[in-house]
Structure 1
Amino acid sequence: MKHLRGWGLIALLMLAALGTYIPAPLQAQQPGQNLLTNPGFEAPYNNGVASGWAPWHQDSGEKCKTKPSDWDFSCRPVWSQELDVNGFGLVRSGSSQHIGVQYLPWHGGVMQTVSVAPGTRLRFSVWGYSRASNEQPPTGSVMDRIPRMQVGIDPEGNGLWNHPGIIWSAEVNVLDRWQQLSVEATAGASGK
């Protein structure tokens, strides 16, 4: 599995029902078989998002313009391919999906739908990297910023990042290093 890098105050990734359904017939999946389209976030990128993936985010609307001092709001991040041209470790291998925005709190990620037989046991794993700094690498992150990265599976494929049925991993709160995130769930009756 390849890698996702996000930076900012909040980062969430999820596997849910948005994107393209896989038109293959349903059949038993082999243990360890990767069902994702473009699991390594390789090029091409469309509007900053790796092919096969779709962006999602929470938007607090007017608060993103007024920027209240309590910082209790979330704005649209920017999606792009991470290039790490200087070799600072921002890409673990191959390509990497970047999600983030400077000077604003954000809550967003990428998602994808896969079709499986109802009752299929699923595991979603990704490598995440978080960075929070106004300075360019190799300067380290500001340690008073706590990222919260998670991955999730929507067993019913509802297509909403905030659906209450999503099974989320535990939060990972690390800066300036790669961390694997994983979650397991059983596909519901929809098989998505």
Structure 2
Amino acid sequence: MAKKELQLLVAEQKVLNKIYAIRGEKVMLDKDLSAMYGVETKQLKRQVKRNINRFPKDFMFTLTRKEFENLRSQIGTSSWGGIRYMPMAFTEQGVAMLSSILNSKTAIEVNIRIIRVFTKLREYTLTHKEILIQLAKLEKEVKGNSRDIENIFMVLKELIQKQSTPVVRNKIGFRHYD
């Protein structure tokens, strides 16, 4: 594997590690995004608030205290530096929209990388969904054939039992009568 490919794989893995499932959505948090973009979290939040009309609820939402505590316990950190405001969570579309308000070369490069990871995640999910559908179809077929399979096993067991019990037969050949 080439060095550049390895670096790309490591970068994608870092992005993947920062994607969380919250409210049934795959999201990234403002803190993680700002670190990737190389800006302070408060600067990122400020830009989002200035352009809030670009971020409807399906692009970005603010975590509730309960969601934040749950997430913090999942990640295993005891403190996030004494935050005063709940984190913002950005969906794939929200991350894409961030590139229009954070117009730096780094932000654009990072956004492209993040969008590619989200796309791979979606493809992976669709592939697994197709496999699950096929398994469900197979399960239905097997359930429908289970009686036939049971009957086949019963016949096989009967045949095996018949073979194991010796059959008394008359000898073949000439008998000599005296």
Give the structure-1-normalised TM-score.
0.25
Q: Relative contact order, CA 8 A, sep 6+: which one is greater?
A: 1
Greater gyration radius: 2
User: Which structure has the highest helix share of the two?
Assistant: 2
Give the structure-2-normalised TM-score.
0.26
User: Which structure has the highest strand share of the two?
Assistant: 1
